[in-house]
Chains A and B, each alone.
Chain A
């Protein structure tokens, strides 16, 4: 079993829809949680960073962490075609090694 599980998709939604992306993890030592967006042939871009359970909002993006269930989510409101990309969840303990999910490919259709 992988430490971090993420549905690879692809996830196809119409423009304007609310998107929910999720990851589960098994290592209870993970303390810091991140979401990255990666466009094709580009490096991942840090979208959200959080270290506590609960919600964190930034514009159209909301990151949610439930440490008791070992489950994190990224919500995208009013999705746009420009949101079409691969979304990677990532997490770590107190050290400097980040563990990534496999990524979910999102397609937002106009």
Chain B
């Protein structure tokens, strides 16, 4: 079964609104989680590394004020897309290491559509 749970799987929102995506590790603690963005027929693009109890580390070109990441507990990281615009429409996926950085497991992804 799934070891990383991601919700919602799909969200449609109006331009200017904010959307929160949750990523939970099931049955294990994840001090580090990752957030990716994926466009159709393209590979995963790492957006940021989420660290429990500290600030996230963002990849170059990713706006930290637009993509707010909170990793408040060892099993939950959230990504909030603030003031979403149509160009933010994409597939967002989270992941977490299980078992001492040996195996990386992914959530099921969230398809965000901004109208």
Contact = CB atoms under 8 A, between A and B. Distances in A.
Contacts of A101: 43
Contact of A41 (B103, B104, B106, B109): B109
B50 to A, nearest CB: 12
A40 to B, nearest CB: 9
B94 to A, nearest CB: 8
Interface stretch (A18-26, A44-52, A72-80): A44-52
Q: Is the interface of B mostly helix, strand, loop or mixed?
A: strand
Given A46-B104, A46-B105, A100 B91 contact: no
B103 A49 contact: yes
A68 interface: no
A43 B108 contact: yes
A88 B43 contact: yes
Interface of A: 32, 34, 36, 41-46, 49, 88, 90, 95-96, 98, 100-103, 105
14 contacts: A36-B106, A41-B91, A46-B104, A49-B103, A88-B43, A96-B32, A96-B97, A96-B101, A100-B43, A100-B44, A102-B42, A102-B43, A103-B43, A105-B41
